Amino acid sequence: MNEILEMVDWSRAQFAMTAMYHWLFVPLTLGLAFICAIMETQYYRTGDLHWKRTAKFWMKLFGINFAVGVVTGIILEFQFGTNWSNYAHFVGDIFGAPLAIEGIVAFFLESTFIAVMFFGWERVSKRFHLVSTWMVAIGASLSALWILIANAWMQYPVGTAFNIATMRNEMTDFWAVALSPVAINKFLHTALSGYMLGAVFVMGVAAWFLLRGREERMALSSIRIAAWFGGAAVVLLAITGDRSGVIMAETQPMKLAAMEAHYDGARRAPLVVIGALKAGETADGEDPFHFKIKIPALLSVASRHDADAFVPGINDLVGGNAEYGLMPISEKMERGRVAIAAMSEYSAAKRAGDRETMQAVAEKFDPLTPVGKTFLQDYYSHLGYGYLSSPEDAIPPVGLTFFSFRVMVGLGVWFILLFAATLWMSYKKKLDRRWMLHTLLWSIPLAYIAGMAGWIVTEVGRQPWTIQDLLPTVAAVSGTSTGPVMLTFFIFVVLFTVLLVAEIRIMTRQIGRGPDDVPPEAIIPPQLAKTEEKQA
């Protein structure tokens, strides 16, 4: 058992490390692609070479980031087969479908038009080139859509049925999987965070140029476009974030309780704005905080849109609460073990050629029979709990989830203020203030931190599950030894770090070079260029 747990820990560490490196590249790709498309649209509308020059500069940075991000994404997908083979067998028919669509449709759409975007400036018409740039931007977001649909299904498994004959889950309703509330909101929230990061990146790099007295027109116009684009994204991000809380309360109440360090359920539950959690476990009824600042009833409002709503705490979810119909996890574990025993009985009967027993067990998993409906609802729906050793195993890491959520929300508020201030100062022609330019520049790493914190809340907050309520990590891991996973973990750390350092060096070198040289009208506004020409 210890060897399995060690394998689980190393597999989780490797997957988390790869995912975090991958997420250093993805959001910039999502946001920068649309900003490039908007800039090229300006060139198409006005014919001003300044916009062509500006768009080409940001496209180069997009291309560098895109190329490195593909490498980490491919390795991430391979790990489902190498480290999580039981998971891949159990749900491969479902999880593989959106990933296949992402590769065949979205990624190929993106990669096909990206060649035209980079090399077709003088080879195709302005209109076709503009369409290609927009298709790259749309393709990047479509790739994210299908990947996030797959991830959302792990958080909220719908549209599927278990086939006892193959011991696999099979898709029964594609649209239920693709259009589940978790999937749609997760895509919008994640994509918008990428759009926001891309805008912050553009504003920060443009501020760097202004601090050095270079490329003033390019920098100012880039900041204004990025501020409008990012400002709209961050407002919508707050709306989808609010929606996430409501969905989480319905589908993953334990994650919500851990995210808020909410141990004892209550009506008019307060939301802790900030607090210092006590280390280790706390006794029942004991305040888990050394100190806290809270807003009364706000957690009830945020999760149910009702100030009087009951919000269950960790203790209610673990020990049960009969008043509100919450089953204790110990009972879920017993029911899950009944489902596991039935699956084992079917496998044993299959090996023995006992068709009568196979048929009797198969009836329990048939949703079209009364027996099957009852068994699937009362026992199979709790399958994953049968693999847990104790009820406390169902509690995610509270401290990490709690603080990560507050980092994410706090930085979200910061960016709302930042975009508003940038737009105001842009139109008031006050962006020459050095303190503001430094603020824009140093906000770039804060955008990455916000995105990472969001993913920690999403993924750490749903532990121990790979598939919510159906498959914990301890039952999803491959049956290989720990040694190869440990070795590849350190190999990937070195490889990804080298790639990250290389990308940063290439990006900073390209930024230092600035946009390509073109005629003066691309740098100086046309009316000013004519005035200087007359004076000469």
Query: How far is the C-alpha of 450 from the C-alpha of 441, rounded, in Å?
Result: 16
Contact 412, 237 (CB under 8 A): yes
| Alpha-carbon dihedral sign for residues 300, 306, 308, 309 | negative
Across-strand partners of 168? 163
What single letter denotes the amino acid at residue 515? P
Residue 120 makes CB contacts below 8 A (sequence gap 6+) with 128, 129, 132
Of the chain, the percentage scoring pLDDT greater than 70 comes to: 95
Indicate the residue among 372, 391, 410 that finishes a domain: 391
Give the pLDDT band (50/70/90) at residue 535. very low
Summarised one tens digit per residue, pLDDT across range 164-184 is 999 999 999 999 999 999 999
**84 in a structural domain:** yes
What is the average per-residue pLDDT within 478-505?
Answer: 89
- In the 8-state DSSP scheme, what is residue 280? S
Q: What are phi and psi of 465, to 5 degrees?
A: -95, 135
- The per-residue pLDDT of the chain, averaged, comes to 90
Contact 420, 231 (CB under 8 A): yes
Q: Are residues 382 and 401 in the same domain?
A: no
Structural domain harbouring 317: 260-324
Q: Where are the alpha helices (DSSP H) in 252-306?
A: 253-259, 298-304
Residue 382 token pair: 């709790």
Residue 392 makes CB contacts below 8 A (sequence gap 6+) with 318
Q: What is the pLDDT of residue 530?
A: 46
Q: Are residues 228 and 185 in the same domain?
A: yes
Among 72-76, 216-220, 299-303, 414-418, whose mean pLDDT is lowest? 72-76
What is the average per-residue pLDDT within 475-484?
Answer: 86
What is the average per-residue pLDDT within 3-16?
Answer: 86
Give the pLDDT band (50/70/90) at residue 280. low
**334 in a structural domain:** yes
Residue environment code for 440-460, b if the CB has 16+ CB neighbours within 10 A, otherwise e: bbebbebbbebbbbbbbbbbb
Q: What are phi and psi of 311, to 5 degrees?
A: -115, 115
Contact 271, 226 (CB under 8 A): no
Residue environment code for 132-150, b if the CB has 16+ CB neighbours within 10 A, otherwise e: bbbbbbbbbbbbbbbbbbb
What is the average per-residue pLDDT within 478-494?
Answer: 88
| Alpha-carbon dihedral sign for residues 127, 133, 136, 142 | negative
Q: Are residues 21 and 159 in the same domain?
A: yes
Widest distance between CA atoms in the chain: 100
**500 in a structural domain:** yes
Residue 290 token pair: 């050394």
* 3-state DSSP assignment of residue 470: coil
Residue with tokens 């859509």: 145
Query: How far is the C-alpha of 512 from the C-alpha of 37, rounded, in Å?
Result: 23
What is the average per-residue pLDDT within 241-262?
Answer: 94
Indicate the residue among 324, 345, 366 that finishes a domain: 324
Q: Are residues 378 and 431 in the same domain?
A: no
pLDDT of 527 above 70: no
**532 in a structural domain:** no
Q: Are residues 294 and 205 in the same domain?
A: no
Q: CA distances (Å), 429 to each of 319, 424, 433, in order?
A: 60, 9, 10
Q: Are residues 429 and 513 in the same domain?
A: yes
pLDDT of 227 above 80: yes
* 3-state DSSP assignment of residue 273: strand
Instruction: Assign residue 307 a region (left: φ > 0; alpha: ψ between -120 and 50; beta: otherwise).
Output: alpha
Residue 109 token pair: 């759409």
Q: CA distances (Å), 263 to each of 450, 453, 457, in order?
A: 26, 22, 17
pLDDT of 398 above 50: yes
CA 178 to chain centre: 16
Q: What is the pLDDT of residue 522?
A: 55
Indicate the residue among 373, 391, 409 that finishes a domain: 391
**66 in a structural domain:** yes
Q: Which helix (H) or strand (E) holds 233?
A: helix 216-251
Query: How far is the C-alpha of 135 from the C-alpha of 33, rounded, in Å?
Result: 9
**533 in a structural domain:** no
Query: How far is the C-alpha of 98 from the C-alpha of 96, rounded, in Å?
Result: 6
Across-strand partners of 352? none
Query: How far is the C-alpha of 6 from the C-alpha of 482, rounded, in Å?
Result: 7
Q: What is the pLDDT of residue 28?
A: 94
Q: What is the pLDDT of residue 521?
A: 54
Residue environment code for 350-387, b if the CB has 16+ CB neighbours within 10 A, otherwise e: beeeeeeebeebbebbeeeeeebeebbeebbbbbbbbb
Q: Are residues 158 and 44 in the same domain?
A: yes
Q: What is the pLDDT of residue 531?
A: 44
Among 79-93, 400-414, 520-534, whose mean pLDDT is lowest? 520-534
Q: Are residues 150 and 60 in the same domain?
A: yes
Q: Give the number of other Cβ atoms within 10 Å of residue 49's Cβ.
A: 16
Query: How far is the C-alpha of 133 from the C-alpha of 139, rounded, in Å?
Result: 10
Q: Are residues 455 and 375 in the same domain?
A: no
Give the pLDDT band (50/70/90) at residue 532. very low
Q: What is the pLDDT of residue 432?
A: 85
* Domains held by the chain: number: 3
**482 in a structural domain:** yes
Q: What are phi and psi of 294, to 5 degrees?
A: -130, 155
Among 20-24, 108-112, 529-533, whose mean pLDDT is lowest? 529-533
Summarised one tens digit per residue, pLDDT across range 290-305 is 889 999 999 999 999 9
What is the average per-residue pLDDT within 353-371?
Answer: 92
Residue 433 token pair: 């203030």
pLDDT of 500 above 80: yes
pLDDT of 468 above 60: yes
Q: CA distances (Å), 58 to each of 67, 199, 252, in order?
A: 15, 11, 40
Q: Are residues 134 and 17 in the same domain?
A: yes
Q: Are residues 356 and 220 in the same domain?
A: no
Q: Are residues 503 and 452 in the same domain?
A: yes
**529 in a structural domain:** no
Contact 431, 222 (CB under 8 A): no
Summarised one tens digit per residue, pLDDT across range 95-144 is 888 888 888 887 778 878 998 999 999 899 999 999 999 999 999 999 99
